[in-house]
Each structure stands twice: as C-alpha cells, then as structure tokens.
C-alpha cells in the first residue's frame, strides 16, 4: 500500500508542564524515525520548548543525532551535567540526517482559552505571525499570576492575523460550531478542524460528525493524534505527571488519567488506516505544513539603539567614548601598551560589529556609577582594555597581562559574554532602571527552567504512587548514583526500605525517568535580554513571582541558540561591603577610593594574606583557602588569580595543586611536558608558562587539548560541551580516548596526559577561566587592602552587609578585635541602625549598631536616632520621645543597650517589662510627665558573667563580654582539655584533647572526610574526621554545639595545623552552666553544609566560593 505523507501537527512536549511526557527533541527524533514529513510543537499557552525542538532538528540535520541534554545538578553556577542518548548506529544516523533535512518543524502554541471554548493550536504563517502569537501570549501572561495565562476567544480573534489555527474538538461537540464560525470570520482560509482517532469507542461516528461539520463550515478537516508522548510506553509516566498535577495518588485519579495509551506518535501507515474514512484529513496536514513560511532562524536580533546618540554610528561612538575615557583613566598619559591594545580591540569589535554590545553594558555601568553603586564586569570580554577604560572592570591592562586574547581568539560566532556584578543590596535599582529605560516590552529577564532533580522527582513520584511521606522522605535521602544508573539495592536498604518491594522499586524507576523534566519556569538570577524592537514580538513575556519583575519564556541556552544578546546583571555581596567601606573611609579618614584607584601591589597587604589572615576577605576566606594561603604565599596580583582558581575541583581532581606548590616553592624544577620529535618540544611552554608548567585554568586545559592533542576547533567545542559528563558515560569517553591517545602518540608522558584529562573532567562542571579569576582576584586584593589598612572600616562594612560571606558576626568582631580594633557595645545613646565608627583613643573604634539585635527593625532604629537630640536618661523618656513600641524596648533591654543610662540588662528589662503595651497617654506625653509611679526595688539577683555572655549570644549572636569557653574554662581545664591556641602550638603527632563551639561543618568532595571548625576564646582549630569516625560519632557531629574532641595534631611544613579527631563528645550541656536558664545561640557559619541539607550530589563537589579541600 502506498503510505501517504503525514505530519503530526498537534504535539505537546514536557514544556506543557505536567502534561506532556516527552522531551521536545525526542518528539522530533521519533517523528523523523517514523517518516513524518514534519511536526508541529504546540505547548500549553507557551513557546518555552520550541527552541529545544528547533535546535535538536538543526543538530539532526547536521549530524544525524541529537546533542546530549543539559541537566542542572545544583544551584550554583556551573553545576551542570549532560545526559546522553545512547550513541547512534551510523546507518540510522545517515537516514535521520537525510530525513531531517526534508523535515519541517512548526513552532507554535496550544491556546487554552478560559471561556470554555475548545483549545486552539496556533502556528505563525510568517514572521509577523510569530510576533502576533508572542504578543498574544504576553497579553495572557501579563494579566495573570506567574505561571498562568488568561486568554479568551475574543483575544484570539482580534490577534489572529498571520496565524494558522487548528481547532481541537473537545469530547462533546455541541459548542464547537460557534467557535469555528468566530474563528473563520476572523481568519478566513486559515482555520482547520482537528480530528483524532483515540479508540474511544465512537471514533468513526465522531469522525463522520466532524467531517460533516467541517464541510458545513468550510473548514478543512485535519488528521491529528494530539500527541502527549513519543512512545506508548510513556503512558505510565504521563499518568504520574497527571497525578502530580492534580495532587492525587494514581489509585484515586480515576478518569483524570487517560483511558489508554493512544496519544503517542503513530506511523503514517497507522494514521492512514485509522483515517480510512477521511483520507483528505491526512493530506491536509501537508497543506498546512506548506502554508507556514516561518522558521525560528528568521528571528533577527538587533541591539538596542539607546546608548548611541543621534548622528553617531555605534562603532564611532564607542571609539569616541573609549579614547575620551582613556584619558581620564590614565591622567599621566596613556601608556603605549594600552594604546596599542585599545586599537587592536576596537578593530576587532568593529570587525564583529559588537560595538552596540559594549555600549549597552557601558550604559548600564554608567547608570550604576551615577547612582554610586559599585559594579564590576567579569568574563572574557570584560577583561579587555576597552572595558577597563569604560569602567566596566578594574583590572588594569597596563599592569597585568592580558586576558582579552581568549575572547579575540574565539571562533565562536556568538555574542560575547559579560557578567556585571553589582552591590547586592542595590541591584534591584539597576534592574528597575533597565526596565524603565528600555520598557517592559523591550527588556526582560531570561527564564530558568526548573527541572526535576532526584529529590523533587522521587518525592513527587512517591506521592503520586501513594507512598507515605516518611517513605518518600527516606527515598529522597538516598544517595543517588550516576545519571542513568539505578539506585543500587544496598542504598535502599541503608535508607531503611525494602528494595524487593515493587512499589519502592517502581517509585525509584519512575523518578529516574522524570529526572530532567521541566517543572516550571522561573526567572534567571539576572540575565537581561534587551532588544531594539519589541521584545514581546520575539518571545512571550510573563510576570515573575517577585513584584515588578517580568521575564521571557526562554532560558539562557535558548537565547544562546538563537543568538540573542544577554547581559547578566548579578548581585555580589562583597561589592556592597567594599562600597560601604569606601564610604566609611571617606567620612572618617578622608581617603577617597574607587575599585580601580586602590593602590596596587602593596607588600603589607600580601604579607597579611601570606599568613592566612583573611577572614572576611573576598573568595579566600574559606578554611581551605586560608590553609592554602601560607602555602601559595601570594606576592603579586597574578598569584591571587591563581589562588582563586586553584582551590577548586578541577585542579584538585587533576592533582595539579601539589606540583604547582612544589614548583612555586622551588622544591621541584619547572619543566614543560613535551612531545616526541618531530613536534615542537616547547609547544606547551607558551600555554603553561604563566602557571609554571601546570595547567590550572579552564582555558589552559582546552588549549592543551588543541595543542598537545591536536584537537580541531570543532572537536574542542564538542569537548567543551561534553566536559560536564564526567559522571555519566556520554560522549566524553570518545574524547578521552582521543585526548590521551593522541598525546601519547605524539610522545607525551602517558601519566601527564592522564592527569590533564582528569583535570578537564574536573573543570567540566566547575570551570574557572582565567579572566573570571582575574576579576575576582581584583576584589580579593581590594578587600584585603581595606582589611589591612582600614580594619575598623572593613569590619564595620562587613557587618553592615550581612548576611554575606562565610563568617557570622561573632567571628568578624573577634577578628577585628584581634587586629586592634576596639569594639564598643550596642547602646541606645550611641548606636545607629548600622554599625558605625567612632573616634577612639587609638584610631577608630567600631560601635555595634542596633541592626545586630535580632529582630530589631530598621524603622525603630531610625525613630530612635531621630529622637536622640539630647541623651536619653530614662526608659520612659526614650519611649515617649522615640515612640517605640514596648517590644522594641524589650529587645533593647535584652541586648543590654541601656548601659549609658546606668541600667544593666536585668534592671533595664525589669523596667521595660513594666511599660504598658499601648501608646503613652497623650496627657503624660504633653506634660513630659512620668506615667508610672515609683515601685519598690525588686531586689533582683545579680547577673553573672556567664549569664550575660549567654544572653548576649541569644540576642546579638556575639558577646563583647567574653567567650562562652572562657567562662567554662575551669571545667575543661580540670579535664586536661587544651585551648585551641595550645593545640596550635603542639608538635605534629601529639595526642591532645580540646573543645570549642562548632562554627562550621563541611563534607566536601567524595565525602571521605568531614571538616569541622571549632572556636574557643583563644582562636579556632580545624578538625578532620574520617568517614568511619564520623559514622561512629554521627550524633555528636550533627547535634553538638559545643564539642570536645580527642585526636592527633597534624602540621604541614607551612605550619597549617589540623587535628585528626578520633573521639568526639557532645558537651553542649555545659553551655547551660553559663546560665541555667539561657542557652546561648551559637550561630553556625553560612557555609555549614549540614544546617542547609543539600543533596549528596551537591555536597560532593561544592560550588564556587565554598570550601573545597
């Protein structure tokens, strides 16, 4: 039989959230394998998935197989893995390639109308139709809450120009007529009536009715299968999705589930058989396909023109700006090196027509400058001389070697990538400015596709299958294996469950299939898309959950794929801190700095870092970084670039850290691995000379692949893409073979080749390019400089920028005190909301602000400060003048902030408690009279130091009166427990006992060791626990706030001390000795990984700024 041509034009992918059960690319691939001539992808009120389908088709046309799926594995940048389809059979790939090239993809949306009308699938007929569709969706999105889209038939009929419409008949056909008529009037000749044969019993009768309706209304009948998944085997997954959506278990879902598995891709032959009564409906699919002349590649992106003044071309204006600003950047004359660089870069920018891009970023940065908001760009293009003179970055190209080369040398024909970090407290201003300047229809934040990860998948699948919450919680806690691998039985047993139980097994299997499915769209952290024309004619815009935010439906990858420009406007806490420090230095010390003007290369700053004295400093403040500092001994800026990049998974997994340190300390000669003849023996020297022959940066690893393993441009790109797969098998093993094979073939030491490869694998997910490291290193230097020269301002700014960084206020304050800063207590007569500086006997003192009091509101503090024209001399006066509620006064009293009135905490509290809850009587206020009569002294007992310390920790999370351990010292001394300082002084190998409060617990890398930092009144000590010890003392580690340990001192040659613990004791009960009634709240550091439980996978390799050892 002659099989007619067929194209499935009504397909929902899993971007019809919790409805479709297949990825867009799988739908495309299956359609091609079935021999369809095309496919129409129409998700529910959304076009979020179309780019995936489109780029999959592009790939299939080029290679005959689809690229791996990118899967987000963690919250931090770079935590990305790849999911691979099984490698293709080459013959099939050829067939697919041939068919794909003749295949047509329609991209549209299924409009689900809220007024009870049948669904309508809309495809653009041309570019204008696409714009109409996206505007229609934008209209529906903007009037709804996030994630919803409210559209009515009216909206559709008024926006129907250039759209091809398929009416999807509902189960009951009675109301169909009116819709058909309305749409046909709105769009004559472009409306189809869909028909399905879903084996519902009355299919043929229904088809006959539809056929009659179609003839009567003059709309052609269109065969379709209203596809929800690519293969009938996905029906159970679709059922589970339905259950998740409806919040029911599968047992109770009943007719909310599909009765059968018919809604999959069917072959043209099968469709022809099913539509034997209406063969014309099949032919109609080809007519519709031919009608659409739209392809996503027609979306042309144009840079916004705002930044270019009238009469200028973008390039000319960029050059003008660059030279003008260069003069002010280098007031002593433009160095020749910079002049040459600028010329070279400008020529490159002209060649690529990138001027509008730089101007747009400059435009945003200048606005930040005007508002006094610190910002700094990063990534390849950001570290150019042009960006330096335009103020986008502060890494001086004259002083430092250039990193722009990477950008210049990229053959990638895509827009450059610059991320700009802003002060975290003020970034929203910039975001709103961008909306204002470009308008909501021209600016939007990119989307982030929230996908199912193991925990969420198993939890929701478990619920859908009717497992109890306890069981799903246990399953979610199981450590998941590699992608595509099942959870091994022993792990299920470990979670206390029976792997033989079919329900458990099914939940696990189903969850694995659900992994990577999109769950909903969310807004990207700061990626903006700006356009010259209307952005809503490019892509639909919707409301975000946050007020005043709107975002588009496409994510970062879609945007890359289509070549749209994205500017990342990100938030960075350290910039807030630095700006606040600059402000304080200007106000109190008369020093005026900006990021670029901080004196470079000061020896004392590096001296401080070499000692590992870096609490609060950007990036290098983690324990691992602090331990690395004395080993690496940074002496110049480039050392900091290395310092930032070296304590990361890539170099560690590649075992590059120790060789680098040995070479740096001179205990190992600097050599360059070289190939055998006839190759250039020095070929790697050029790549690696900056890092002493050891590849440390991401681009070096890539460069090694290209130089030493002779990877072509395309291979390198493929490698870059495949790099993240080190956990799965994927395509990476193909590259592994090539990489090591070719290096060895060319005469390299196989061991070196293998190490380079290990490193590439490590880089995969956590690449730290050199340019990135350089931008960060600048902030490391600036923050170190402030800490060294202006310790009071530094601590003050750091406290005022909380929450950020690694350390709790208690440690910041202690560190400031250790650097000679006098820290003064919170006081109602001295403190402002923020922490402030006061002139003291030895320079500036740090006065704690009211913000340090837990739960004290900013407006209370402002009212208090405003009313403080004269010093307050009594609680009642304070209350009356500042009109504070009693709860505020109680908090002040709790925090012991009335000392200047000669009231100690206890008396103040007793007095504050007595104040009535309501507003003071107006009569008393007017007369400035006291409202309360005198009462006899309550003769409260005197508060002991221990009680004070404990209460300080409860209210302020720190105490200036003493450390809890100092109070408890006699107890521990009697037991032979040493202080942290005493342990630090012991020789390696000594067995000691010590105790301290727990600051942070971490379980990095493979989880074989646990790191715990303890603190006492003399300092901190770092514990290392091997996994076995941890399991034996799990409860102590997890529960103790005060931990006593026994272990062996281990000291590195650089003097870095660890205590390898073998016994732990939970001594938290001792804290009650401070005061039987106050249990001090010891704040764990923000980096503690057990407070915020993360998935074991996320724990295994930690994101950027966290500890890594």
Partner 1 sequence: MNRYRSSNRRHLAVWFPFLPTDRLLVGRAEPPVAPLAVVVKDKGALRLGAIDSAAAAIDLHPGMTLADARARVPGLEAVPHDPAADEALLKQVLDAFGRFSPMVAPCRPHGLMLDVTGCAGLFGGEAALSSRARALAARAGLQARTALSRTPQTARAMARFGPGGVVPEGQDRDVARGLPIEALELTAEDALALRRAGLVTLADLDDRPRAAFAARFGRDFPGRLDLILGLADSRITPHRPAPPVVADRVLAEPVLTDQAVDAVLTDLLSDAAGDLERRGCGARLFVLTFFRVDGRVRRVGVGTARPSRDAPTVLRLFKERLASLAAPLDPGFGFDQLRLQAGRLQPLSPRQDDFHAAPAKAEALDALVDRLTARLGPDAVLRIEAEDSHLPERACRMKPAVQVGRAAGAWPERESGQPPLRPLQLFDPPQPVEAISLAPDGPPARFKWRRVTHQVTRAEGPERIEQEWWHRDRARVRDYYRVEDVQGRRFWLFRAGRFGDEPEPRWYVHGLFP
**Binding footprint of partner 1 on the chain (CB under 8 A):** 172-174, 199-202, 204-205, 235-236, 239, 250-257, 259-262, 465, 468-470, 473, 477, 496, 502, 506, 890, 894, 905-906, 909-910, 913-914, 935-936, 938-943, 947, 951, 1034-1035, 1038-1039, 1066, 1076-1078, 1090, 1093
Q: Are strands 191-195 and 221-223 parallel, antiparallel or unpaired?
A: parallel
Which residues are registered as beta bridge partners of 81?
71
CA angle, corner 318, sides to 315 and 323, nearest 5? 125
Pick the closer one to partner 1 by CB: 426 or 906. 906
Residue 405 beta carbon to partner 1: minimum distance, rounded to whole angstroms: 48
DSSP 458-484: HHHHHHHTT--HHHHHHHHHSPP-STT
Residue 869 beta carbon to partner 1: minimum distance, rounded to whole angstroms: 30
Reading the block at residue 74, the tokens are: 């963690």
Beta carbons of 704 and 695 less than 8 angstroms apart: yes
Residue 248 beta carbon to partner 1: minimum distance, rounded to whole angstroms: 10
Beta carbons of 157 and 185 less than 8 angstroms apart: yes
Dihedral sign for Cα 178, 179, 184, 185, please. Answer: positive
Residue 281 beta carbon to partner 1: minimum distance, rounded to whole angstroms: 19
Q: Which of 459, 460, 461, 451 is nearest to 483 (CA)?
A: 451
Burial of residue 879, with CB atoms counted within 10 A of its CB: 0-12 exposed, 13-18 middle, 19 or more buried? buried
Reading the block at residue 960, the tokens are: 């200036």
Pick the closer one to partner 1 by CB: 692 or 950. 950
> Cα separation of 693 and 706, whole Å?
16
Cis ω for the linkage preceding 481 (within 30 of 0): no
Residue 852 beta carbon to partner 1: minimum distance, rounded to whole angstroms: 18
Residue 495 beta carbon to partner 1: minimum distance, rounded to whole angstroms: 8
The H or E element that residue 41 is part of is: strand 38-44
Pick the closer one to partner 1 by CB: 221 or 476. 476
Residue 966 beta carbon to partner 1: minimum distance, rounded to whole angstroms: 21
The H or E element that residue 31 is part of is: helix 24-33
Pick the closer one to partner 1 by CB: 412 or 1028. 1028
Beta carbons of 632 and 661 less than 8 angstroms apart: yes
Beta carbons of 691 and 660 less than 8 angstroms apart: yes
Pick the closer one to partner 1 by CB: 254 or 669. 254
Pick the closer one to partner 1 by CB: 926 or 933. 933
Pick the closer one to partner 1 by CB: 870 or 939. 939
Pick the closer one to partner 1 by CB: 926 or 939. 939
Residue 942 beta carbon to partner 1: minimum distance, rounded to whole angstroms: 8
> Cα separation of 433 and 509, whole Å?
48
> Cα separation of 246 and 253, whole Å?
8
Beta carbons of 690 and 700 less than 8 angstroms apart: no
Residue 334 beta carbon to partner 1: minimum distance, rounded to whole angstroms: 60
User: Residue 726 — φ and ψ, nearest 5°?
Assistant: -60, -15
Residue 649 beta carbon to partner 1: minimum distance, rounded to whole angstroms: 25
Q: Which residue has the tokens 């603190």?
A: 1015
Residue 273 beta carbon to partner 1: minimum distance, rounded to whole angstroms: 9
Burial of residue 1061, with CB atoms counted within 10 A of its CB: 0-12 exposed, 13-18 middle, 19 or more buried? buried
The H or E element that residue 1037 is part of is: helix 1034-1039
User: Residue 620 — φ and ψ, nearest 5°?
Assistant: -95, 25
> Cα separation of 651 and 695, whole Å?
8
Residue 847 beta carbon to partner 1: minimum distance, rounded to whole angstroms: 24
Residue 259 beta carbon to partner 1: minimum distance, rounded to whole angstroms: 4
Which residues are registered as beta bridge partners of 104?
38
The 550-555 sheet, strands edge to edge: 375-378, 419-423, 566-572, 518-530, 443-451, 550-555, 541-543
> Cα separation of 1071 and 1077, whole Å?
10
CA angle, corner 901, sides to 899 and 906, nearest 5? 55
> Cα separation of 763 and 785, whole Å?
30
Pick the closer one to partner 1 by CB: 382 or 511. 511
Pick the closer one to partner 1 by CB: 116 or 871. 116
Pick the closer one to partner 1 by CB: 2 or 1077. 1077
Please list the alpha-helical segments (H only) found in 767-790. 770-789
Beta carbons of 584 and 816 less than 8 angstroms apart: no
Burial of residue 347, with CB atoms counted within 10 A of its CB: 0-12 exposed, 13-18 middle, 19 or more buried? exposed
Nearby residues of 333 by Cβ (< 8 Å), 6 or more positions away: none
Residue 8 beta carbon to partner 1: minimum distance, rounded to whole angstroms: 19
Residue 1077 beta carbon to partner 1: minimum distance, rounded to whole angstroms: 4
Residue 465 beta carbon to partner 1: minimum distance, rounded to whole angstroms: 7
> Cα separation of 696 and 380, whole Å?
16
CA angle, corner 254, sides to 27 and 521, nearest 5? 45
Residue 166 beta carbon to partner 1: minimum distance, rounded to whole angstroms: 22
**Helical pair 875-882 and 905-914, crossing angle rounded to 10 deg:** 60
User: Residue 1048 — φ and ψ, nearest 5°?
Assistant: -115, 135
Residue 2 beta carbon to partner 1: minimum distance, rounded to whole angstroms: 20
The H or E element that residue 332 is part of is: none
């Amino acid at each position: 039989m002659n099989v007619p041509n067929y194209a499935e034009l009504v397909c929902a992918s899993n971007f019809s959230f919790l409805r479709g059960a297949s990825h867009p690319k799988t739908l495309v691939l299956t359609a091609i394998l079935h021999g369809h001539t095309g496919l129409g992808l129409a998700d529910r009120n959304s076009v979020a998935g179309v780019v995936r389908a489109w780029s999959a088709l592009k790939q299939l046309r080029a290679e005959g197989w689809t690229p791996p799926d990118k899967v987000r594995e963690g919250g931090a940048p770079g935590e990305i893995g790849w999911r691979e389809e099984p490698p293709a059979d080459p013959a099939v790939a050829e067939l697919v390639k041939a068919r794909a090239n003749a295949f047509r993809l329609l991209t549209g949306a299924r409009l689900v109308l809220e007024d009870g009308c049948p669904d309508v699938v809309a495809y653009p007929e041309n570019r204008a139709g696409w714009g109409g569709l996206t505007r229609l969706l934008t209209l529906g999105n903007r009037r709804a809450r996030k994630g919803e889209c409210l559209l009515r038939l009216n909206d559709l009929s008024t926006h129907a120009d250039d759209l091809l419409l398929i009416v999807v008949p509902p189960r009951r056909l009675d109301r169909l007529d009116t819709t058909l008529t309305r749409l046909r009037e709105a769009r004559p000749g472009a409306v189809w009536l869909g028909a399905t044969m879903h084996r519902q019993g009355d299919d043929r009768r229904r088809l006959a009715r539809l056929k009659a309706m179609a003839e009567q209304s003059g709309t052609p009948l269109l065969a379709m299968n209203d596809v929800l998944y690519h293969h009938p085997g996905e029906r159970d997954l679709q059922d589970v999705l339905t259950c998740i959506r409806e919040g029911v278990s599968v047992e109770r879902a009943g007719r909310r589930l599909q009765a059968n598995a018919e809604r999959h891709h069917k072959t043209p032959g099968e469709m022809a058989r099913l539509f034997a009564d209406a063969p014309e409906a099949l032919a109609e699919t080809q007519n519709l396909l031919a009608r659409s002349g739209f392809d996503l590649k027609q979306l042309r992106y144009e840079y916004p023109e705002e930044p270019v003044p009238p009469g200028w071309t973008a390039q000319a204006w960029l050059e003008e700006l660059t030279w003008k600003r260069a003069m002010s950047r280098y007031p002593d004359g433009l160095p020749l090196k910079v002049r040459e660089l600028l010329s070279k870069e400008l020529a490159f920018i002209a060649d690529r027509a990138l001027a509008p891009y730089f101007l747009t970023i400059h435009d945003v940065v200048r606005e930040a400058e005007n508002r006094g908001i610190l910002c700094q760009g990063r990534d390849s293009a950001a570290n150019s001389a042009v960006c330096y003179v335009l103020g986008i970055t502060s890494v001086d190209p004259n002083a430092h070697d250039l990193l722009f080369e990477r950008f210049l040398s990229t053959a990638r024909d895509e827009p450059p990538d610059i991320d700009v970090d802003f002060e975290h407290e003020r970034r929203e201003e910039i975001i709103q400015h961008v909306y204002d300047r470009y308008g909501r229809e021209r600016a939007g934040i990119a989307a982030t596709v929230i996908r199912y990860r193991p925990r969420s998948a198993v939890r929701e699948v478990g619920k859908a299958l009717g497992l109890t919450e306890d069981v799903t919680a246990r399953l979610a806690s199981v450590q998941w294996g590699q992608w595509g691998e099942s959870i091994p039985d022993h792990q299920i047993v470990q979670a206390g469950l029976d792997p033989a139980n079919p329900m458990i097994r099914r939940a696990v299997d189903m969850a694995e299939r659900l992994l990577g499915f999109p769950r909903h769209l969310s807004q990207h952290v700061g990626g903006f898309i700006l356009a010259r024309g209307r952005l809503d004619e490019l892509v639909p815009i919707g409301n975000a959950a946050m007020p005043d935010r709107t975002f588009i439906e496409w994510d970062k990858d879609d945007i890359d794929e289509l070549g749209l420009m994205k500017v990342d406007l990100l938030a960075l806490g350290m910039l807030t801190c630095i700006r606040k420090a600059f402000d304080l230095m200007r106000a109190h010390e008369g020093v005026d700095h900006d990021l670029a003007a901080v004196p470079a290369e000061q020896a004392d700053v590096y001296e401080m870092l070499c000692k590992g004295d870096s609490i609060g400093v950007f990036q290098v403040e983690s324990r691992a970084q602090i331990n690395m500092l004395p080993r690496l001994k940074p002496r110049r800026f480039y050392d900091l670039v290395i310092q930032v990049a070296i304590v990361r998974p890539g170099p560690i997994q590649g075992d590059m850290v120790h060789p680098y340190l040995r070479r740096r300390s001179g205990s190992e000669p600097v050599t360059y691995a070289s190939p055998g003849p006839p190759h250039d023996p020095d070929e790697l020297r050029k790549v690696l000379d900056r890092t002493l022959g050891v590849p440390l940066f991401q681009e070096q690893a890539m460069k090694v692949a290209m130089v030493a393993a002779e990877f072509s441009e395309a291979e390198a790109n493929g490698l870059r893409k495949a790099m993240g797969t080190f956990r799965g098998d994927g395509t990476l093993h193909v590259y592994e073979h090539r990489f090591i094979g070719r290096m060895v073939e060319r005469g390299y030491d196989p061991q070196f080749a293998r190490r380079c490869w290990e490193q590439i694998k490590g880089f995969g997910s956590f690449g730290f390019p050199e340019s990135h490291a350089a931008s960060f290193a600048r902030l490391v230097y600036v923050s170190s400089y402030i800490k060294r020269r202006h310790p009071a301002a530094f601590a003050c700014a750091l406290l005022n920028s909380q929450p950020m960084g690694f350390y709790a206020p208690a440690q910041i304050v202690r560190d400031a005190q250790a650097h000679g800063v006098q820290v003064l207590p919170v006081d109602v007569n001295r403190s402002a909301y923020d922490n402030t500086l006061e002139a003291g006997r030895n320079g500036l003192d740090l006065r704690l602000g009211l913000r340090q009091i837990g739960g004290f509101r900013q407006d209370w503090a402002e009212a208090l400060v405003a009313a403080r024209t004269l010093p307050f001399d009594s609680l009642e006066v304070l209350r009356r003048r500042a009109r504070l509620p009693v709860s505020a006064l109680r908090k002040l009293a709790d925090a012991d902030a009335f000392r200047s009135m000669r009231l100690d905490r206890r008396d103040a509290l007793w007095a504050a408690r007595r104040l009535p809850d309501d507003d003071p009587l107006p009569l008393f206020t007017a007369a400035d009279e006291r409202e309360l009569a005198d009462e006899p002294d309550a003769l409260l007992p005197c508060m002991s130091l221990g009680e004070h310390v404990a209460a300080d920790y409860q209210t302020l999370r720190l105490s200036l009166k003493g450390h809890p351990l100092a109070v408890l010292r006699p107890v521990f001394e009697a037991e032979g427990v040493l202080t942290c300082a005493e342990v630090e002084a012991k020789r390696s190998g000594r067995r000691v006992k010590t105790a301290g409060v727990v600051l942070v617990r971490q379980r990095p890398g493979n989880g074989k060791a646990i790191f715990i930092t303890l603190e006492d009144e003399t300092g901190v000590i770092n514990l290392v626990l091997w996994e076995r010890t941890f399991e034996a003392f799990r409860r102590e580690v997890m529960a103790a706030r005060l931990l006593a340990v026994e272990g062996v001192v281990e000291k590195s040659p650089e003097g870095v001390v660890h205590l390898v613990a073998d016994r732990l004791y939970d001594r938290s009960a001792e804290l009650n000795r401070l005061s039987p009634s106050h249990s001090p709240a010891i704040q764990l550091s923000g980096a503690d990984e057990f407070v915020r439980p993360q998935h074991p996978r996320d724990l295994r390799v930690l994101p950027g700024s966290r500890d890594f050892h």
